[in-house]
Amino acid sequence: MTAKIIDGKRIASEILSELTERVARLKETHGITPGLAAVLVGDDPGSQVYVRNKTRTCQNIGMAAETINLPQTASQKEIVATVQDLNRDARFHGILVQLPLPDGIDESAVLQTVDPDKDVDGLHPVSLGRLMAGHPVFVPATPLGIQQLLLRTGCDPEGKHIVILGRSTIVSKPLALLLVRKEPGANATITMCHTRTRNLAELTRQADVLVVSTGRPRWVTADMVKDGAVVIDVGINRIEDSTAKRGTRLVGDVDFDGVREKASAITPVPGGVGPMTVAMVVSSTVQAAERTAAPTGR
């Protein structure tokens, strides 16, 4: 068996096409242009690429997008003040703070400054609490993207045993909450484990869907995967490769070449989960703009 490659770029493109129509309707019907503000602190090349991808994607579908660049030396007070200004700026319906922030900055405190009604990254404690209570407004982008990957490739989570290898607040924990919900597109049975779990392979081999987010390059091998499982690789790691043009290349947390011979479907790295994360941030920003056009009274 050779796995089907789940093309995150193609699926993200389909979603963005749908969002283009929603943006056009907002403009025509309500005179609203959805706007995203990204706060970027420092000059980390990876963070610059991520923010550029998000803002460019917004602009490509007719949205407004702006990056607020702060120096590496910016204080916590300055970062918080910037976010507070954006909270008050009606041009922006969504705010994201690009992580990681420089050493010495309390990321949690900064994220808590974001207005929950503009928290399109879904990382504010209010957003996570709403998800826990079963009434989410914004869901963290990567879990939401994973759910859409599954649904749009014909792998409905309902009734499936989904094993999540990882325990982060950004991906693993909210994904478990999202997929266990009693609603269409969820209703899964969830097992969460991590790199310190005993007899880990015994658990991962039970998975109908295995989601891997460990931050360890090519750590999950074929012997840890059930025949015919769907494998979602969230990891992105840069490793040395003398055959590559720049001497390095990107790999996931899954040994792609080995696992693809056992899985029924697998996401590549890059080109799998990454494009979906960007699409979901854009989607949540459009959703936030739609909420201002038709307030729910919440």
Domains and CATH numbers, the chain: 29-124 (3.40.50.10860), 141-274 (3.40.50.720)
In the chain, what percentage of residues exceed pLDDT 90? 90
pLDDT of the residue at 295: 66
Name the pLDDT band for 296 (thresholds 50, 70, 90). low
Catalytic residue among 98, 119, 226, 262: 98
pLDDT at 253 over 90: yes
In this prediction, residues 73-98 reach a mean pLDDT of 98
pLDDT of 117 reads 96
pLDDT in tens, 23-78: 999 999 999 999 999 999 998 888 998 899 999 999 999 999 999 999 999 999 99
Full-model pTM: 0.94
Give the number of other CB atoms < 10 A from CB of residue 142: 25
User: How many other β-carbons are positioned within 10 Å of the β-carbon of residue 225?
Assistant: 28
The chain-wide mean pLDDT, for the chain, equals 96
Q: Please tell me the predicted confidence (pLDDT) of residue 297.
A: 47
The single residue of 117, 118, 119, 121 carrying the catalytic annotation is 121
Catalytic residue among 54, 160, 173, 262: 54
Q: What is the pLDDT of residue 1?
A: 74
Residue 199 has pLDDT above 70, yes or no: yes
> In this model, does residue 234 exceed pLDDT 70?
yes
Does residue 85 have a pLDDT over 90?
yes
Q: Please give the average per-residue pLDDT across 157-186, as a whole number.
A: 97
The question of whether 76 is a catalytic residue gets the answer no
CA 258, CA 185: separation in Å to the nearest integer? 29
pLDDT confidence of residue 246 = 85
Half-sphere exposure of 80 (CA within 13 A, CB side): 11
Whole-number pLDDT of residue 40: 98
121 counts as catalytic: yes
